[in-house]
């Protein structure tokens, strides 16, 4: 049956209160997937119909991200066309995303907004209507109107991320059978999809009950890796309690990464590289939509992970992964779908995504300050200390008085000659200057914009290099980069502050454990550490 067969934060619970009239009005549009149905005067109250809880029942939650909603919808609507999925994507697109403040948003506190209940109920109504036509529904329910057992035993525990005791199961079955056979599937599913247990990850901070702990670990693992509810294999180990064992966790992570490499890459890489907020922009870069450009590193990462490759190949590319939207940027023709290997850039710094982020778009000149600070912050996990507002005026004065005919290295050396600038520029200048031979979209640069010859030789930290490609290769294979990558997976799982995972790894045995491991193996190790402590 498709996916059914095939460290959360303590906050007060958001009370889900919905006026019954709103629900009734919601069924009046006959163009929607399920025609209008009247609950009638003798029907249960809205709270009973939708199975909602109050502040006294629930204590921990984080809301699904928009990406997770989309993955769940696709898994539920197995076998359905683009129309229903596109309709639900439109509803999800109107949701306010979870707060994003530089840490991973799968754990960030929910930013509730006006009409959040209305939006979630609209999704529940449409999803219930469409689901009754899905392949998954047909596999769960061979005879519509008589599906209470399969819904309660197979569907709810996964979608609600919780166990159901005998009393809860009987109450749900009674609710199911309270409607006429033609109506009961829809209304039961409406209740399932409207429940806060569907929309939120709700767990105690420290689960004492072994089965509840198993549900917590298994469900969080599934959402972190696939963005959706557990598949059969994972659910079996959740039910048996085996999922709490470290090796079982590793095995499932590696298996799910092979099955869903792009999903994990989209959820993790875009946040790690600090580009997830650009996925909703309508801006274009060289006539290509910026979201397509920002997806590029995630697709590269996913392909490398699927190949069993190492994180060093993410910087020092063995090939470029090109989708049709990006092919034209690289001068590659004849690409209609899929991947193209052996073409394009040699390093991540020459990709379209990096070119967009770190170059001046007007003249296509890479900005060494922007590029160097990006490397230090996101690829080496160092917390850059920028000037305070109190001294920014002095910094501006130095910048405004700098001679205009200086080459980029000379100009940056000039800035470092002033104490007010040196403390900042010494953190990242040399990283940016080491990359100056790599131009926009991978072009080789021999001249700076000033006309001076590009000079890319020297030493940065422990890396001695004679050209930009050599610098990238040594950076890619450095312990600092691999440690940063591992720490960001840890932060993704635990929602730790940006440098906390890095600092924790520095004090642990992780560096030795991940040495020589593939991307998937490193991710699996850090998921184990994140779920159970470093």
Same domain, 17 and 120: yes
The domain boundary residue, chosen from 156, 186, 201: 201
Q: Which residues pair with 459 in a beta bridge?
A: 464
- b/e per residue, 465-504, with b = 16+ CB within 10 A? beebbbbbbbbbbbebbbbbbbbbbbbbbbbbebbbbbeb
Residue 316, in any domain of the structure: yes
- Three-state secondary-structure class, residue 329: helix
How many structural domains comprise the chain? 2
Question: What pTM, to 2 d.p., does this model score?
Answer: 0.84
Residue 119, in any domain of the structure: yes
Pull the structure tokens for residue 29.
């549009």
Same domain, 39 and 173: yes
- Three-state secondary-structure class, residue 463: strand
Same domain, 310 and 191: no
In the prediction, which pLDDT does 338 show? Answer: 61
Neighbours of 13 (CB within 10 A): 17
Phi/psi class of residue 115: alpha, beta or left (left: φ > 0; alpha: ψ in -120 to 50)? Answer: left
CA distance 342 to 302: 17
In the prediction, which pLDDT does 111 show? Answer: 52
Same domain, 176 and 286: no
In the prediction, which pLDDT does 61 show? Answer: 63
Pull the structure tokens for residue 207.
């689960």
Residue 136, in any domain of the structure: yes
Same domain, 166 and 282: no
In the prediction, which pLDDT does 104 show? Answer: 57
Phi/psi class of residue 2: alpha, beta or left (left: φ > 0; alpha: ψ in -120 to 50)? Answer: left
Residue 491, in any domain of the structure: no
In the prediction, which pLDDT does 327 show? Answer: 80
How confident is the chain (534 residues) per 10-residue block, as mean pLDDT?
Answer: 38 30 31 30 32 32 85 94 94 74 49 71 94 93 86 94 92 92 93 91 80 90 95 96 92 96 94 88 92 92 93 88 77 68 76 94 91 93 79 85 88 87 83 94 91 93 95 96 93 77 78 91 91 65
Residue 443, in any domain of the structure: yes
Same domain, 304 and 184: no
In the prediction, which pLDDT does 239 show? Answer: 94
Same domain, 10 and 130: yes
Q: Where are the beta strands (DSSP E) in 409-496?
A: 458-460, 463-465
Q: In whole angstroms, how far apart are CA 150 and each of 140, 181, 216, 275? A: 6, 15, 22, 41
Same domain, 54 and 182: yes
What is the domain extent for residue 463?
275-384+427-476
Q: Which residues pair with 447 in a beta bridge?
A: 453
CA distance 230 to 6: 11
The domain boundary residue, chosen from 145, 177, 201: 201
In the prediction, which pLDDT does 280 show? Answer: 82
Residue 497, in any domain of the structure: no
Residue 147, in any domain of the structure: yes
Task: Give Cα 165 to chain centroid, integer Å.
Answer: 33
Same domain, 162 and 20: yes
Give the CA radius of gyration of the chain. 26
Residue 401, in any domain of the structure: no
Q: Where are the beta strands (DSSP E) in 358-438?
A: 359-360, 365-366
The domain boundary residue, chosen from 201, 229, 254: 201
In the prediction, which pLDDT does 54 show? Answer: 24
């Amino acid at each position: 049956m498709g996916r059914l067969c095939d460290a959360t934060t303590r906050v007060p619970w958001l009370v889900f209160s919905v006026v019954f009239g709103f629900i009734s009005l919601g069924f009046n549009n006959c163009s929607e997937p399920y025609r209008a149905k009247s609950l009638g005067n003798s029907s249960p109250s809205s709270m009973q119909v939708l199975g909602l809880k109050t502040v006294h029942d629930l204590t921990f939650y984080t809301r699904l991200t928009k990406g997770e909603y989309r993955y769940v919808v696709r898994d539920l609507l197995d076998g359905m066309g683009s129309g229903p999925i596109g309709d639900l994507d439109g509803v999800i697109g109107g949701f306010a995303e979870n707060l994003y403040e530089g840490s991973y948003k799968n754990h960030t506190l929910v930013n509730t907004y006006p009409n959040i209940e209305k939006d979630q109920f609209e999704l529940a109504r449409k999803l219930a209507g469409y689901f009754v036509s899905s392949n998954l529904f047909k596999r769960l329910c061979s005879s519509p109107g008589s599906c209470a057992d399969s819904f309660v035993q197979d569907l709810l525990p996964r979608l609600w991320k919780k166990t159901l005791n005998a009393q809860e199961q009987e109450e749900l079955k009674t609710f199911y059978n309270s409607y006429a056979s033609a109506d009961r599937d829809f209304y039961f599913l409406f209740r399932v999809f409207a429940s806060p247990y569907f929309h939120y990850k709700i767990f105690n901070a420290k689960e004492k009950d072994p089965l509840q702990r198993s549900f917590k670990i298994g469900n969080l693992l599934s959402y972190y890796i696939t963005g959706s509810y557990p598949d059969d294999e994972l659910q079996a180990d959740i039910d048996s309690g085996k999922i709490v064992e470290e090796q079982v966790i590793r095995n499932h992570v590696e298996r799910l990464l092979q099955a869903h490499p792009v999903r994990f890459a989209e959820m993790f890489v875009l946040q790690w590289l600090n580009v997830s907020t650009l996925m909703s922009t309508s801006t274009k870069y060289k006539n290509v939509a910026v979201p397509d450009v920002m997806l590029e590193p995630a697709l590269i990462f996913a392909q490398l992970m699927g190949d069993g490759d190492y994180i060093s190949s993410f910087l020092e590319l063995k090939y470029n992964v090109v989708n049709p939207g990006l092919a034209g940027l690289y001068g590659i023709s004849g690409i209609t779908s899929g991947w193209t290997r052996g073409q394009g850039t040699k390093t991540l710094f020459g990709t379209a995504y990096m070119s967009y982020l770190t170059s001046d778009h007007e003249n296509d000149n890479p900005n060494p300050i922007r590029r160097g600070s990006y490397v230090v912050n996101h690829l080496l996990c160092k917390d850059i200390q920028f000037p305070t507002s109190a001294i920014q005026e002095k910094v501006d004065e130095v910048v405004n008085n700098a001679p205009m005919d200086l080459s980029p290295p000379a100009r940056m050396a000039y800035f470092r000659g002033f104490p007010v600038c040196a403390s900042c520029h010494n953190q990242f200048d040399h990283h940016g200057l080491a990359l100056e031979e790599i131009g926009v979209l991978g072009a080789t640069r021999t001249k700076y914009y000033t006309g001076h010859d590009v000079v890319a030789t020297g030493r940065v930290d422990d890396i001695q290099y004679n050209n930009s490609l050599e610098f990238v290769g040594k950076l890619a294979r450095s312990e600092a980069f691999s440690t940063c990558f591992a720490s960001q997976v840890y932060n993704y799982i635990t929602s730790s502050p940006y440098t906390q995972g890095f600092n924790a790894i520095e004090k642990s045995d992780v560096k030795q454990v991940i040495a020589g491991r593939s991307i998937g193996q490193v991710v699996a190790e850090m998921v184990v550490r994140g779920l159970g402590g470093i």
